[in-house]
Amino acid sequence: MQVLQRFCEGMGRVSVWTGRAVSFLLPALILSIIYEVVARYAFNAPTDWSFTVSYMMGTVIIALGMCYLHAERGNVRVDLFYNHFPRKVQLGLDIGLTVALFFPLTFMLTRVWVLDTWHAFVVGEVPVTGIFYPLLWPMKAIITIGFALLLLQGLANFIKDVASLAKGGEEPW
């Protein structure tokens, strides 16, 4: 049981650290968009790089922020019903839906992104939009890491939920 507890706590720390680290990209994303808008409309000098850099930074923020969101249990639910259920029913729903939906979906998405990242690396894939053509495999690797971290955080939450249900709905440790 201590090994599972250490895994869950360690994964929580990794998720929080990742979420905090990636949050520093948000001001850079905002500044790049502001720079593009000012350059385009005030000086009639649009940038070549802004669109590509903006969607890449936004993608990285979302990909690496997913595990933090899941660690904080910040996902959207139908709270209208969920909050009125007893704690044991909530845990049962969380466990059941995690097994039925979360694990298969995140596993498949992680697998797909691993293959897509490898393909992008092998062929030297670049974006087809804009006129700035950086290699895409580093961004795709970050997306892959994001889904893998989400899968691991989901496993940690699942272990905590099962342990909590085993203790009658109380804190697992």
Mean pLDDT by 10 residues, the chain (173 residues): 92 95 94 94 90 91 94 82 89 95 97 97 89 90 97 96 90 79
Predicted local confidence at residue 123, as pLDDT: 97
CB atoms under 10 Å from CB of 94, counted, come to: 21
Q: Per-residue DSSP letters for 125-169?
A: ---SSSS----SHHHHHHHHHHHHHHHHHHHHHHHHHHHHHHTTS
Q: How many folded domains does the chain comprise? A: 1
**77 within domain boundaries:** yes
Predicted local confidence at residue 28, as pLDDT: 94
Host domain of residue 36: 2-166
Six token digits for residue 98: 């995690």
Predicted local confidence at residue 118, as pLDDT: 97
Q: What is the pTM of this model?
A: 0.89
CB atoms under 10 Å from CB of 46, counted, come to: 12
**49 within domain boundaries:** yes
**171 within domain boundaries:** no
Question: What single DSSP character describes residue 9?
Answer: H
**172 within domain boundaries:** no
